[in-house]
Structure 1
Amino acid sequence: MLSAHILRSPAFFICLLLFFIAPATAGAQRITISANSDWKFRQGRIVNPGVLPAAGWQAVTLPHSWNRFDTQDDEPGYYRGEGWYTRRIIFPPGWKEKEIFLEFGGANQVTEVFLNGKKVGEHTGGYTAFNINITSAVIFGPAGNGLTVKVNNSHQPDVPPLSADFTFFGGIYREVHIVATEKIHFERDQYGSRGIVITTPVVSAETGEVHVEGTLTNSGPAERKVSVRASVYYRDSLVSATATTLIAKQRSSFTIDLPAVKNPGLWSPADPELYVVRTTIIDAVTGIVKDELSSPLGFRWFRFDAEKGFFLNGEPLKLIGASRHQDYQDIANAVPAELALRDVELLKEMGGNFLRVAHYPQDQVVLDACDRLGILASVEIPIVNAIIETPAFSANCLNMQTEMIRQNRHHPSVVVWTYMNEVLLRPPFATDSLRRETYFRNVAALAQRLEDLTRKEDPTRYTMIPNHGNFALYHRVGLTRIPMIVGWNLYQGWYSGKLAGFADFLDKHHRELGDKPLLVTEYGADVDSRIHSDHPVRFDKSVEYGLTYHQVYLKAMMDRPFVAAGIAWNLADFNSEERGESDPHINNKGLLTIGRKPKDTYYFYQANLLKVPFLKIGLGGRSFLSGEANGEGILIQRVRVYSNQPIVSLFLNGKKLAEQRPVQGVATFEAGFRAGNNVLLARAGEGDALTDQYVVEAMPVPGQLSAITSGFPALNMCLGDPRHFTQENGRQVWLPEQPYKKGSWGYVGGRRFTMKDTTRLSFGTNEAIANTDLDPVYQTQRVGIEQFIASVPAGQYELTLHFAELLSAGPAKVLAYDLGAKSAAKDEFKGRMFDVQVNGVTVLEGIGAELTAADAVSYKIPVSVNNKEGLVVTFVPRKGETILNAIQIRKIY
C-alpha cells in the first residue's frame, strides 16, 4: 500500500469545497471542479494497481508530462512506457444520489483508471477527451477514495500515430475534472461528447434557423417526465426559445427546432458574432433544473469552390493561417490553458484567419478561442505517415474520428474534418509490388470508411486528406477523390526541388483535378533565429532563406484564386525528438520560436495580412551585430522593415538613411553601424505617425587586425560555414569563414565538409552534436586545413579550438519526411590523427583519437604574440586529413 505520507493530503479541503459549491436542493444542476492538484507520480511498471509501492513517487500538478527533459538531452530516444498517477479524493455524502464522472482532457496514449483498486474505465488514443463514470466504485465518508491512473505512451501497432515528425509525450497532459450530475442528465458516456448537437439548417442575412438534437440519460430507478428547453441568447438577451416534453427513460433522444432568429449577426473573421444556446432539462413535475449546457452558436454559411476558392457568407475569403502543435518550451505538451489560448491570439495578431489543428485534436480552449476571435479551423486525427492493416487499427481510427467530431462539432469555427496526413509518405513493401498494391487498396478502403463515417456524423462540414507532393501516387491510389477537398503539403525549395516548382504544382492540380477544391495544408522552411546569411541557400536554416521561401509561396497562392487556403507549417517551433540539425530535437519551421518569440517570417505575414497600420524593424531578433568593418570602421548590414504602408523611412542614429516603397510588405535598407549602441528608427503612415525603434549594439572587426591599437574585439569563426551564428546571450557572434588576407584573418587550404547526400545542404552536417548547446558551431568544418592565420598585434591571447568528428562508420539515419535524401550512406571514415602548432610550437599532439562521432571537444590555449609575428595556427597531418570546426581568439592584455 501507499505510505502514510502519500495517503495524507489536503483532500479534506476538496471535500469542504464541494460542500460549499453544491446547491442545497437535491435537484441541482451539474457540478464541475478541477482535480489537478495533489497528485503523486511514478514512472515504470506496477503489477497491482490496488497495492501501490510506497517509494519512488514525486508530487506533481496536472497538466503533467514525464518527457519534459529526456526529449531534449543528448541521449537518443526518450521514455516510452508506463506512468502512474495517484491521489485521494473525498466525496461529500450529499452526492450519494448523483452520477459522478472523471473528465480527462487528454492523456497519451492508452489510459486505465482505477478507483479503490477497482478498474472503472479505460481509453485508447492520446488526443481526445474521455469521461469515466465512477459512480459504482465511489466510497462516501472521511476515509476517502484512492484514485489511480495508468498511462502508457509506448509504441502500440494498433494505435495511431505510428510515426511522425513530432514527439509522443507521455502523461496526463491536459486537465482533469470531477463532474457530478443528477440521475437525469445529458448523455456523457458516448465518445466524450456533450450529449447535444446544434446545427443551423438555414442561414442567410435575413434569417437563421437553429436545430437542437441530443440524448439524455436517466440512471434513476424510475422514468420521469421532463421538459427539454433550448434558448438562444445574444449578448445576454433572449432571442429565441422553445421546449419539448418527453419521458426520461434509461436513454432518450430529443429534437428541437427553435423559432428562426431574424436578421442574425453573421459570424466571420472580421466580426465573429457569437450567440449562446442554453439547453436545459427540467423536471416537468417539480420544475427543478436537472442539467444545463451552454454552447457557442455562430450563424454562417460557407463553401469551397474548385475554381474560385473559399466563400464565407456568400463572399470570397482567402484563407491564410498556420498549423499548430500543442507543445511549448520546457513543458512538453503539458500546456496550461492560458498558453494554448495565447497561441490562437498570436495567430490572430499575425492577421491569420485559419488554424489547422494538427496533427491531432487539441485542448477545447483552442477552438473556444477560434470561435471567439473569428479563426476558421480544421481538425484531424493522428493517422500520420502509414497505417497498419489490422481490424484493431481501423477500429481505433474510426473511434478517434467519431470522438473528434462529437466532441468538437459545436464549434462554429470548424469547417473541415481531416484524416490521414501524408499516409503514403514512405509506403512499405518496396521490394514486393503486389503486396504494396494490396497495401494501397487497404489504405483507400480505410479512407473510404472514415469518409463515410464523417459524412454520416456531420454532413454540414467538408472532409479532407492532406497529402505530400507525390501527385501521381495519391491520385492513382484514390486519395484525391475520396474526400471532398484535397490538401497538399508542399516543400519545393526545401526538402526537394526548387522554389519555382511550388507554383507549377498548384497549376498541375488545377489542370488535372479541376473539380476538386485545393488547400495548401503545409509549407515551410526551417528558420533558426540564430542563423543569418548574406547569401542564403536551401537548408541553411537562415532567417533570410526562410523569408525568401515564404515570399515566393505567399505570392503564388495569392495570385491563384483557386487556391482556397495557405496554411504555413507551423505557427511555432515544436518538439521532434528524432531530429538532429542546428537546434536538436526541434522542428523550427515555426513563424514563432518554441518559446513564442516572433521571427521575421511572422512580421512578414503581419505586413501582408493585417488591415490595421503595421510597421516593424526586423533584424532577426538580434541585439548584437559583429562582422568585418569597411575602411572607415563601419559595419555594413542589411536591415529589413516590414510594413503594410506605402512608404517607409529608416533613420540610423538620428540620420535619415532612405525611404522606400515596401515590396510584398518588405523594405530593405543598407545601414552602416559604428561600434557601440546604435538606434534604428522606422517611420511610416500619414505624417510619419507610425514608428518603430530598435537598439542594437555593434562590434565591427577591422579588416586589418595588425592596425588595432586598443580594444581588440573577440574573434569567433565557424570553419566551413558561410553564415553568421549568434549565440542566444546575444553578445557573441560567430562569423562566417573566409580565406586569409594579408593583415587580416582566415584559413589557408582545405575544403568545406559536405555530407555525402548533396541533395540537401551544400556544407556541414544535420546531425546533433553531443556535449554542447552550440550545435551550429560544431556542425561545419574545414577538412584538410593547413593553417589559420590572424594578424593580431602583440599581446597575450586566449586561443580556443573547437573540434567535432562529423564522420562515423555507420550509416546515417534518413528521416521519413526528408524526401530529398537519396540514401543513408556516409563517407567512409578511416580515422585521423594530427598535431596543432601555434607560432611554430606544438601545443596539441595526436588529435583525432579522442574525437568520437558528433561529439564536441574544445581546447583553450594561452598564447603570447610578440612583435609582428601575429597568430599562426598550423595543422600537421599524421593520419588522414586535418579538421577544424571553429576558432576563437580573445585578447587578455
Structure 2
Amino acid sequence: MNKRSLLPLFMLLAVAMPSEAQRITQTLNSNWEFHLGNESMQPADSNAAGWTWITVPHTWNTQDTEDDEPGYYRGTGWYKKKLYIPSGWKDKDIYLFFNGVAQQADVYINGKPAGSHKGGYTAFCIPASAYLSYKAGAANELLIKADNSENETIPPLSGDFTFFGGIYRDVQVIALNKVHFNMGDHGSGGVFITTPTVSAEQASVTIRGSFVNNSGQRKELTLTHRLTDAAGMTIAQDTIVYHVNPGEKTAFLRNMNVAHPRLWSPDAPYLYRISAQLTDRHTGKILDEVVNPLGFRWYRFDAAKGFFLNGKPLKLIGTSRHQDYAGMGNALSRAMHIHDVELLKQMGGNFLRIAHYPQDPAVIEACDRLGILASVETPVVNRISESEDFARNALNMHLEMIRQNFNHPSLIIWAYMNEVLLRPRYEKGSPEQEAYFKKITSLARKLELLTRKEDPYRYTLIPNHADFDLYNRLQLTKIPMLVGWNCYQGWYTGNFKDFERFVEWHHRELPQKPLLITEYGADADNRLHSSSPVRFDKTVEYATAYHRAYLETIRSKPFIAGAVIWNLADFSSETRAESTPHINSKGVLTMDRKVKDAYRFYQANLLKTPYLHIGSPEWDLRAGIARPGNKPVCTQPVQVFSNQEEIVLKLNGQTLGTAKPRSGIAVFQVPFINGPNLLQAASGDGKVTDQATIDFQIIPTRLNDKDLPFTSLNVNLGDQRYFYDPADHEIWLPEKEYAKGSWGYIGGHVFKKKDSRVAYGSDKNMLGTGLDPVYATQREGIKQFKMDVPDGVYTITLHFAELHSPRQHETLVYNLSGSEAAPDHFSVRTFNVDINGGPFLSPLSNQQYMVPERAVSFTTTVSAQQNKGITIVFTPIEGEPVLNGIQVRKIY
C-alpha cells in the first residue's frame, strides 16, 4: 500500500480523568479585570485605576470595528485576576493553559514574568509552580499583557478580516502529579497517534510521545495504552514498564493492530477512544491519563479523478469559516463554535477549511464527531516580512498548529501561505521584488519540509489567488502536494465561464497536481433583491446564480477534488465598505447566522434527505407596480429550493403550477395581490412541504386609482434593486422614468464611478446611516421627480449624499483583480430644490449640509391640490443636482 495515500487518525486535546489520574483541569474564565491601553504600564502598576470587570473569552474590539470611524484599536490591553491555589497542590506541577491570546502575550504571576507567546491563533502553556503561593487562602495575582499591535515579525501582516485583540478563548489551570505526560511540547498534549495502514480488514496504530518525572525520585512506571470502541469495550491494549530517573523526560513509541476496524466517514463518523495511562508499578496508583478519540480511514487525492475516502470517490464540498459573530468579535463560547460546524453539516457539507488560522479546539473536535473533513492553515496571509524573526515566528506557529491539532481524524490537510502574492512588496519587476519573491519561495519550502517531517501522512496545500503564471513561476504550485485556487471569476472579474476556463487551464498545465477550489463566493446583502441581477450588485439572486454556475462546473469536472465556499457566515473586515460596511458578506449565513438563499441552494443540492424550502422567506414585505387588468396584481418570480423531482406551488390556496427543479431550483412567476399572500410549496407526492406569508404592497399603475388608494412609496434613485429595510419594515422600489398618471424621475443619469467594478452606485461606506444601499446610489443631473398623487396631505423625505469625495480611497485590497482605485473627481455641487412651485432647499450644497460620503435627509409636509399632484424641481447652480432616495406617505 502506498503510505502517501493513507490517513493518520488522531486527536490532540487530552481528556482528563481527575478522579483516577489526579489530573485537575479548571477553567479560569470568570472574574477578570481589564484595562485598555497604557502600554507603559508595568506589573507593579496593576492596582492603578481604570479596571473593569469582564469575563473571558473577551475582546476589546466589539464596538470600534463596527462604527463609522476608520480603523480600530490595535495596541495593548491588560487582564488580571486572583488565583487561589489549594494548599494540597504544593506537591503538583501546575500549568496555565491559554487557548488564544491575540496576538502577543506576556504572563506575570505575583509580579514576576512567567512566560510569553507570539501568535494569536495557537495555544500556549506556561509552567506556573515556581511562582505561586500555596498558603491557605493566599491570593495569587495573574496578570496578562495582550497586544494586537501591527508587528512586522508576527503573522498575519494583512488580511481581509479583523485582527481582534484580547484573551478571546478559554484559559485553564491544570494541576498534575509530578509524573505526567509532557506539557511542554508546543501547547500539545504530549501524545501523538497515527494509523500508518488502514483497510477494511486490518489497521495499525502507532502511539508516540513523552512523559516527565519531576518527582525527585527514581520511578518504576507502567505505561498502558488501551483502545476502546464507542461502547467502551476494550479492543486492544499495550503495556510496557519504564525505569525513570528524577528529572528525566522519556520518549515512547508503541504499536497496536486492530482487525476489521469500523471505518470513519462523513456518513458514519465512528470514533474509538485511545487512552494513555501512567501508573506507579509498585503502588498501582494512576499518576496521569489522557484520552484521545481515534478514527480509522484512508484517503488519497488523484489529479485526474479527485478525492477518494476509504477507496470510494467523494467530492469534497464545504465552506471556510472565520471565528467571529455579530456584536461579539471573536470572543465566542465553545457552544457557538460547535454550532457553526453543526450548521455546515445541516447544509449538507462534508468539508471545512479552517481559515485563515487555527481556531478554537471545539471546532475540529466537532468535525471529528459530526463527520466533517477539514484542513487547517497557518496565518501567513497576503504577504510576508523578509526578516529572520518573521520566518522564525511563522515556522514556530506552523509547528504549534501541527502539534496541537495532530490527533484529529477529521483533519486531512495542512495549509499555509494564503494568497501570499496578492499584494507583493516593491515595484513590479524590480530587483527588490524579485528578491522578495525568493524569500517567499524559500519560506514555502521550509514550511513544506517542516510539515512533511512532522506528519508524513497528511497532504499539504497552498491556497493561491488566480494569478496562475506568477504562482507557477515562483514554484508555489509545485512545492505543496495540493494546489488550491481562490476563484472569483464572475464576481471581482469576468464571468462564470471564465471559472470553467481557469480550472481547465490548471488541469492542462499541471496535469499531475491535484486541485481544490479553496475559495469561491459572492457578496449577498439579504436586504437586496433583483429579478435581473448583475455582477457585483450584492443581491441575493446574483449570489444564488453565482453558486449555481460554480457548483455545476465543480460537479462536472472529476479532476476538481473539492471546493470550498467563501464563507460559512459573513464576518468582520473592518476596512470594507459598500452596502454592509465593515463586513465581508460572502457568507451563506449572515453574521448572526441567519440563512441566505445560497445556503438553501446547497441544502437542495447536497442533502440526501428530502428537502424543500421557499426562497427568501425573510423578505416578507415586498412591493411592485400593478400590472394592467381588472384585478390589481403584480407578478414577481419566486424561487423554491428542493431536491425533489417535481414541485407544486399554491398562492392563497390556488395552484399556480408545477415545475421541475434544475440544480435544486424551481422558479415560479407569482401574481401577488395587495396585502397578505400565502405561498405553499409541496413535492409532487405531497410528502415534503413548506409555506411562507408575504405581505405585498401593490403600487397602482395610476396613482389616483380609486380601487387601489395610494398610501406610500419609497424609491431608490439610480438603482434597479429592491431594498428591504427590516429595521423600519419598509420596502424601497427601483427607480423608473416618469409616465403621466404615475411617478418617476425626469432627466439625469445613473451615478457610476468611472472604472468601478460595481454596476452602479458607490462602493464607499456611507457615514451616518444604516441605509447604505439607499445613499450609495443616485441619479445625477435630475431635473424633476413627479408623482401624480390624488389631492391630499403628504410627508416627503428626500435623501442625499455626495458620492464623490476629495479624500482618495484605496481600491479594495482583496478584490483579486489587481486594479487600482480610479481618481475621484470631486467638485463643488450646489442646487435648489422646489416643491410644487415653492422653495424647499435653497440652496443645497456639498460645501454645506451635503458632506461628502455622509447621509443627509430632509422631511417636509406637502399639500397636493387641484389634481396637480407633487412636482419636485431640481435647479442647478454649480455642478449637477442629485437625488438618492425619496419617500412619500399620505397623511390624509
Q: Could you tell me the TM-score, scaled by structure 2's length?
A: 0.96
Question: Kindly tell me: are residues 296 and 28 of structure 1, through their superposed partners in 2, closer, same or farther at Cα, counting changes over 3 Å?
Answer: closer
Aligned equivalent of 1:229, options 220, 224, 233: 224
Give the number of aligned pairs.
Answer: 868
| Unaligned segments of structure 1, at least 5 residues | 1-20
Q: Secondary structure at the match of 2:704?
A: helix
Q: Does 1:521 align with 2:514?
A: no
CA-CA distance at 1:253 after TM superposition: 3.5
Deviations 1:836-887 (A, max 9, x none): 0000101111101221211010000111111211010000111111011100
Name 2:32's counterpart in structure 1: 39
CA-CA distance at 1:675 after TM superposition: 1.5
Amino acid at match of 2:749: R
Describe how 1:673-822 pairs up with structure 2 within 5 A: 673-684=672-683, 687-708=685-706, 711-729=709-727, 731-758=729-756, 760-820=757-817, 822=819
Name 1:261's counterpart in structure 2: 258
Name 2:570's counterpart in structure 1: 573
Name 1:50's counterpart in structure 2: 44
Deviations 1:792-823 (A, max 9, x none): 11111000000111011232211221233633
Describe how 1:292-441 pairs up with structure 2 within 5 A: 292-431=289-428, 433-441=430-438
Name 1:869's counterpart in structure 2: 868
Name 1:659's counterpart in structure 2: 658
Deviations 1:291-348 (A, max 9, x none): 1111110000001100100000111100000000000111000011111101000101
Question: 1-side partners of 2:602 and 2:18: how far apart?
Answer: 49
Amino acid at match of 2:69: E
Aligned equivalent of 1:149, options 136, 144, 147: 144
Aligned equivalent of 1:470, options 463, 467, 470: 467
CA-CA distance at 1:509 after TM superposition: 0.5
Q: Does 1:642 align with 2:637?
A: no
CA-CA distance at 1:621 after TM superposition: 2.3
Name 1:6's counterpart in structure 2: none
Q: Secondary structure at the match of 1:544?
A: helix
Contact 1:678/1:695 (<8 A) preserved? yes
Amino acid at match of 1:184: V
Q: Secondary structure at the match of 2:125?
A: strand
Name 2:890's counterpart in structure 1: 891
Aligned equivalent of 2:77, options 69, 73, 83: 83
Q: Secondary structure at the match of 1:96?
A: helix
Q: Secondary structure at the match of 1:726?
A: strand
Question: 1-side partners of 2:18 and 2:596: how far apart?
Answer: 48
Question: Kindly tell me: are residues 385 and 87 of structure 1, through their superposed partners in 2, closer, same or farther at Cα, counting changes over 3 Å?
Answer: same
Question: 1-side partners of 2:854 and 2:262: how far apart?
Answer: 62
Q: Does 1:846 align with 2:848?
A: no
Q: Secondary structure at the match of 1:372?
A: helix
Contact 1:167/1:576 (<8 A) preserved? yes
Q: Does 1:30 align with 2:27?
A: no
Contact 1:624/1:730 (<8 A) preserved? no
Question: 1-side partners of 2:703 and 2:218: how far apart?
Answer: 93
CA-CA distance at 1:28 after TM superposition: 4.6
Contact 1:529/1:620 (<8 A) preserved? no
CA-CA distance at 1:711 after TM superposition: 4.7
Q: Secondary structure at the match of 1:366?
A: helix
Question: 2-side partners of 1:190 and 1:444: how far apart?
Answer: 28
Question: 2-side partners of 1:784 and 1:101: how far apart?
Answer: 69
Question: Kindly tell me: are residues 709 and 419 of structure 1, through their superposed partners in 2, closer, same or farther at Cα, counting changes over 3 Å?
Answer: same
Q: Secondary structure at the match of 2:102?
A: coil
Identity %: 49
Structure 1 stretch displaced more, 723-732 or 407-416: 723-732
Deviations 1:244-272 (A, max 9, x none): 21123434344354442211110000111
CA-CA distance at 1:620 after TM superposition: 5.7
Amino acid at match of 1:706: N
Question: 1-side partners of 2:31 and 2:18: how far apart?
Answer: 22
Amino acid at match of 2:703: L
Deviations 1:83-127 (A, max 9, x none): 011111110100000111111110110001111101101110000
Q: Does 1:214 align with 2:209?
A: yes
Aligned equivalent of 1:553, options 531, 544, 550: 550
Amino acid at match of 1:245: V
Contact 1:757/1:822 (<8 A) preserved? no
Structure 1 stretch displaced more, 34-43 or 727-736: 727-736
Contact 1:309/1:318 (<8 A) preserved? yes
Structure 1 stretch displaced more, 214-223 or 534-543: 214-223
Question: 2-side partners of 1:656 and 1:530: how far apart?
Answer: 28
CA-CA distance at 1:438 after TM superposition: 1.0
Contact 2:632/2:708 (<8 A) preserved? no
Q: Does 1:139 align with 2:133?
A: yes
Q: Secondary structure at the match of 1:604?
A: helix
Q: Does 1:239 align with 2:235?
A: yes
Question: 2-side partners of 1:49 and 1:165: how far apart?
Answer: 35
Q: Secondary structure at the match of 2:825?
A: coil
Aligned equivalent of 1:583, options 562, 580, 584: 580
Q: Could you tell me the TM-score, scaled by structure 1's length?
A: 0.96
Q: Secondary structure at the match of 2:167?
A: coil
Question: 2-side partners of 1:797 and 1:349: how far apart?
Answer: 49
CA-CA distance at 1:832 after TM superposition: 0.8
Name 1:9's counterpart in structure 2: none
CA-CA distance at 1:746 after TM superposition: 0.6
Contact 2:524/2:538 (<8 A) preserved? yes
Describe how 1:490-639 pairs up with structure 2 within 5 A: 490-619=487-616, 621-631=618-628, 632-639=631-638
Q: Secondary structure at the match of 2:363?
A: helix
RMSD: 1.3
Contact 2:189/2:404 (<8 A) preserved? yes
Deviations 1:401-453 (A, max 9, x none): 00000000100000000000000002111255211111111100000000000
| Unaligned segments of structure 2, at least 5 residues | 1-16
Question: 2-side partners of 1:735 and 1:464: how far apart?
Answer: 46
Question: 2-side partners of 1:154 and 1:563: how far apart?
Answer: 39
Contact 1:216/1:248 (<8 A) preserved? no
Q: Secondary structure at the match of 1:692?
A: strand
Contact 2:596/2:616 (<8 A) preserved? no
Question: Kindly tell me: are residues 213 and 431 of structure 1, through their superposed partners in 2, closer, same or farther at Cα, counting changes over 3 Å?
Answer: closer
Q: Point out which structure has higher relative CO (alpha carbons under 8 A, 6+ apart).
A: 2
Q: Secondary structure at the match of 1:345?
A: helix
Name 1:8's counterpart in structure 2: none
Question: Kindly tell me: are residues 709 and 661 of structure 1, through their superposed partners in 2, closer, same or farther at Cα, counting changes over 3 Å?
Answer: closer
Question: 1-side partners of 2:728 and 2:585: how far apart?
Answer: 19
Q: Does 1:102 align with 2:96?
A: yes
Name 1:124's counterpart in structure 2: 118
Contact 1:230/1:258 (<8 A) preserved? no
Structure 1 stretch displaced more, 624-633 or 99-108: 624-633
Contact 2:347/2:607 (<8 A) preserved? yes
